[in-house]
Amino acid sequence: MTGMSGQGSSQRRDARVPSVEATQPAPAGGRRRRLLGMGAIGAAFLAGAAIGPIIAVPTIQAFAQDSGRAETYRLLNLFGDVFERIRAEYVEQVNDRDVIESAINGMLQGLDPHSSYMNPRSFRDMQVQTRGEFGGLGIEVTQENGYVKVISPIDETPAARAGVKPGDLITHINGQSTQGLTLQEAVEQMRGERGTQIRLTIRREGERAPVELTLTRDVIRPQVARFRLEGGDIAYVRLTAFNEQTEAALRRAITTMRQQAGGNLKGLILDLRNNPGGLLDQAVQVADDFLDQGEIVSTRARRAEDAQRWNARAGDIAQGLPMVVLINGGSASASEIVAGALQDHRRAVVMGVKSFGKGSVQTVMPIPGNGAIRLTTARYYTPSGRSIQATGIEPDIEVLATRPDPNAPHRDREADLRRALRNDNGERTTEQQPPATPPPPLNLPAGVQDRVVKMPAEGAPAFDPTKPETDHQLQQAVQFLRNLASAQGGPQRRAQR
């Protein structure tokens, strides 16, 4: 699950690390098996080929296989003919590698929204982003009115040292306007090797003239886990992606906040909003951090023998503290694995709005000297057997970030993407694939859930990511945990279960 995210509509992007989907690398020795499996045409004609008992099945099978191979060779010849025609007749001279790579990418993207080809540069970028460090400036950005807007600079990075501020609009990069660039294109221009320079032109509120800044890129280690205490009694941690640093950063965050609170913690909020996913093993480890036992997630591939299952080990780093997991339409893939596991085990209350709905696993298969392919190889299922593919995680308690606006643009989810995989919940009836069951109902003290306010008050200030007090979903999660602690008799009651 790498690459960006099948969430094509998400406008928030991290200049430190682009969004990633839940990905698993091809296992040693498994790459060849998977690649060879792509060529298995099989005897698809067998199902209706036998017209009477006088025809022997082995003969039919051999004929079908031969016919399948012949058709495959004919289509490969067609590809070669088209390629040669392009080389000879296209209005401008073409680069053979570019044409072939585009054809390969088209073949993969024709399967589903998340399979694709990565050329050597894209493959290196993917490896960098999953390691969690790269050369860049150290700013988290979004897009507003066609310009790149700074959400926040990271402490002790080139951006912070140069005086970049939240709310700055980056209008030019090295003298070239950012108008017309996608957010990803702008992010790629701001990244680069350590020690190289870049010039930013910034429009800043309160400044009459543009601000010109020259920055020197450095190694950026993203703050994949941002955390703070809310009011001294609620631990809040936001995970921005699932890379190789995520689980360790989460553990450090909770340890730090527990020390800061001095035993007064009433609850924990795990914020997975707009987290587009990342590495499968990191999702498993994060969920495992809060579960003592039971299944975390399972994956089922084309062949039954390739199914896998991950179970939790004893140990809860939150020591039983009540939890809320915040999700929204930008929570995808690895984020949904974590939310689904904690919801099914009733370890946490899931709050927010329905998640993105990406329930597939991509395996990255390197092609020596030629980048890699990212191929959808499995679906994943929550502990209760649910596939969230194209449906998403439904929150236990719905809380809207803003009041409904009929004129607001529709935010695409997995089900809106072309060629999205179907949801197969209704098809799994074998003993190995039991039917899906909904998570058990919430068991909350009377009145706690009723006090949650579904949407902001009319006239409430617009959400500003730099001002937590404008974050309605977060504030409702904080108050919910305080009300729950009060109803249960204090912060230590559940921790001592």
* Strands in 252-384 per DSSP E: 267-271, 295-301, 308-311, 323-327, 349-352, 360-366, 372-381
CB 428 within 8 A of CB 482: no
Q: Say how far apart CA 274 and CA 330 lie, in whole Å.
A: 4
Work out whether the CA dihedral 255, 259, 260, 262 comes out positive or negative: positive
Active-site pick, 116, 288, 298, 358: 358
Work out whether the CA dihedral 387, 392, 394, 395 comes out positive or negative: positive
Which of 323, 265, 328, 340 minimizes the C-alpha distance to 477?
A: 323
Judge whether 344 counts as a catalytic residue. yes
Which of 243, 4, 252 minimizes the C-alpha distance to 113?
A: 4
Active-site pick, 10, 298, 333, 384: 333
CB atoms under 10 Å from CB of 181, counted, come to 18
Give me the amino acid identity at 213. Answer: L
Which of 215, 130, 221, 133 minimizes the C-alpha distance to 173?
A: 215
Active-site pick, 112, 281, 289, 344: 344
Q: Both ends of the chain: CA-CA distance in Å? A: 37
Judge whether 358 counts as a catalytic residue. yes
Which of 10, 409, 332, 3 minimizes the C-alpha distance to 183?
A: 10
Q: Say how far apart CA 179 and CA 348 lie, in whole Å.
A: 42
CB 260 within 8 A of CB 476: no
Q: Catalytic residues, which ones?
A: 333, 344, 358
